[in-house]
Amino acid sequence: MERLQKVMAHAGVDSRRKCETLITQGRVKVNGKVVTELGVQVNQSDLIEVDNIPVDREEPVYFLLNKPRNMITAVSDDKSRPVVTDLFFGVEQRIYPVGRLDYDTTGVLILTNDGELSQLLMHPKHEIEKVYVAKVKGLIQRKMLRQLEKGVVIEGKKTAPAHTKLLSSNVEKQTSIVQITIHEGRNRQVKKMFEAVGHPVQKLTREAYGNLNLNGLSSGEWRELKHFEVQQLRELAKD
């Protein structure tokens, strides 16, 4: 048995808090009866309805994808461009990506049907560590790396402290490879940060997300997360 709001959140109805509101507003039924109290426990066979629409309670599943370039982080695209879920042929659950990577960004992407974990991971206050490797234009100086670490202003707001490491520079091609670790998840954040210090990104890969990295996964490959990996993610999101 599990709490009604938890089961609803798991099924992707909304965050646990918003599910509580739905319950107290009298919009939720269990086995045909309106429930307005928050303590109610349900089991797998109970029928839950929100606004008279049954909640589809799939088993939660969790995947890690090495996202290739030129693919949209979405479940569908109005311009019929390839989307990441196209790669999950044979997976019947309705999974969706946790957060997004740009069309041309590669690397670690989690997909799940667990709405609650997804919301937890994406919440800015949980500050999951993300490691990116960027190939940038120009030979980046230590001074610029320090600026990135202290924070740069993008769209009127300073970025939170980051870590950087210069991995290599190519004098002939006038490019640098930099590893950058951030905790926020603002839109196109890494590209905007490097732009702000005058070194536009040419290529970007997310190498790690919390406890997860790309080990063993080629571009376009995915695997199911192990139980302990999902637990670790939950712990990271709670810290």
- Subset of 99-118 contacting ligand URA (CB under 6 A): 101-102, 105
Instruction: Please name every residue paired with 74 in a beta bridge, in sequence order, or none if there are none.
Output: none
102 is a catalytic site residue = yes
Applying CB under 6 A, the site for ligand URA has a residue count of 8
CA distance 41 to 48: 11
**Which span sits near ligand URA by CB under 6 A: 23-31, 137-145, 183-191, 228-236?**
183-191
Q: Are strands 201-209 and 106-112 parallel, antiparallel or unpaired?
A: parallel
CA distances from 231 to 51, 146, 236, 237 (A): 32, 34, 9, 10
In whole angstroms, the minimum distance from the beta carbon of 228 to ligand URA comes to 26
Site for ligand URA contains 164 (CB under 6 A)? no
Site for ligand URA contains 189 (CB under 6 A)? yes
CA distance 163 to 133: 12
Which of residues 64, 162, 190, 230 is near ligand URA by CB under 6 A? Answer: 190
Nearer to ligand URA, 7 or 180 (CB): 180
Nearer to ligand URA, 148 or 190 (CB): 190
**Which span sits near ligand URA by CB under 6 A: 30-38, 83-91, 162-170, 185-193?**
185-193
Site for ligand URA contains 148 (CB under 6 A)? no
Cβ neighbours of residue 74 under 8 Å, at least 6 residues apart?
A: 83, 84, 85, 97, 100
- Subset of 38-77 contacting ligand URA (CB under 6 A): none
Instruction: Please name every residue paired with 112 in a beta bridge, in sequence order, or none if there are none.
Output: 62, 96
Nearer to ligand URA, 16 or 67 (CB): 67
What percentage of the chain's residues is helix, strand, coil (to nearest 5)?
25, 30, 45
Cβ neighbours of residue 213 under 8 Å, at least 6 residues apart?
A: 108, 131, 207
In whole angstroms, the minimum distance from the beta carbon of 189 to ligand URA comes to 5
Site for ligand URA contains 188 (CB under 6 A)? yes
Count of other CB atoms within 10 angstroms of residue 193 = 26
In whole angstroms, the minimum distance from the beta carbon of 201 to ligand URA comes to 7
Cα angle value 198/202/207 (rounded, 5°): 110
**Which span sits near ligand URA by CB under 6 A: 9-17, 21-29, 145-153, 189-197?**
189-197
Cβ neighbours of residue 5 under 8 Å, at least 6 residues apart?
A: 16, 19, 20, 23, 38
Catalytic residue among 56, 102, 104, 239: 102
**Which span sits near ligand URA by CB under 6 A: 31-39, 116-124, 146-154, 186-194?**
186-194
Q: Kindly list the residues in this chain that would bind ligand URA in the complex (CB under 6 A).
A: 101-102, 105, 188-191, 204
> Would you name the residues annotated as active-site residues?
102
